[in-house]
A and B are shown apart, each in its own frame.
Chain A
Amino acid sequence: MVPLNYYLILSAIVFAIGVVGVLIRRNLIVVLMSIELMLNAVNLTFIAFSRFLGSMEGQVVVFFVMAVAAAEAVIGLAIIISVFRHRETLDPQEMQLLKW
């Protein structure tokens, strides 16, 4: 069988890649997609632990994570649409009004 650690390592790698995407990309939609990637990596960790500890709670948590991720993606996209209408751009570096 595949040891638990392998799943955890895989999950960590995917998570880290997601982080890179959030920090580097200059397209808001891709940033949001990277966030989804991070959430999924975490889901993978939860399911792995659920399997190896024999508890359903992990899966229940994943259920909720998915629900919330859906809501968050919806709101995030709505905001992106709204911002795009005003600024005609999706570059986060262009949105720096809240500075000193």
Chain B
Amino acid sequence: MVIFFVLAVMLVGLSLLVVFVRNVVHAAVALVAALMIIAIFFLTLQAPMVGVLQIMVYAGAIMVLFLFVIMFLNPMTPERPRRAWWGLGVLSASLLAIMLLFMVSKGQLGAGPLAGTEWFGSPETLAKSLFTEFVLPFEIASIVLLVAIVGAVVLAKRER
């Protein structure tokens, strides 16, 4: 329980950092840290496979890609947003409030039983679902990735 709150606070703080720091590189690093914490959450929620994947794919590959691009483009510091835009912040805050209210008003799902055995969340179980029920989305996802690769190469090519 305590771990949860500590991690939760850290997560919120890091996400605020991501959004509000001026330096892009600092924001990227904060995001990496946030992703790590989320991976820890996954692990505590009995999703070891997904948690490891989070670290490997998300925090590892994607964020590294982000940093590559940041360095590549070497951008300048962002300008101050106009004062009026803070109104949008209020709006999103109200979004938050609505969702919170919604959730709090609903019935509580208790802690719930420990779902299944240690097989729950393991690679085998995940793989079993993936290759039986969800084999079609799986194949499509691979095509999506292929398209993304090709597209990225085409888009980022330097024109002759």
Known: A27-B24, A37-B18. A66 touches B115 (CB 8 A): no
Chain B residues touching A, range? 35 or more
Main SS at interface, chain A: helix
Q: How many A-B residue pairs have CB under 8 A?
A: 232
Give CA–CA (A80, B42) in the complex, Å.
31
Given contacts A29-B66, A78-B155, contact A3 B109 (CB under 8 A): yes
Interface residue SS majority, chain B: helix
Could you tell me how many residues of chain A have their Cβ less than 8 Å away from some Cβ of chain B? Answer: 70
- Tell me the smallest distance from the CB of A36 to a CB of chain B, in Å: 7
What residues make up the interface of A, taking CB atoms closer than 8 Å to B?
1-10, 12-21, 23-27, 29-30, 32-34, 36-37, 40, 43-44, 47-48, 50-57, 59-60, 62-64, 66-75, 77-82, 84-85, 90-91
Interfacial residues, chain B to chain A (CB-CB below 8 A): 1, 4, 8, 11-12, 15-16, 18-19, 24, 27-28, 31, 34-35, 38, 41-42, 45-47, 49-50, 53-54, 57-58, 61-62, 65-66, 69-70, 72-73, 75, 78-79, 81, 85-86, 88-89, 92-93, 95-96, 99-100, 103-104, 108-113, 115-116, 120-121, 125-126, 129-130, 133-134, 137, 141, 144-145, 147-149, 151-153, 155-156, 158
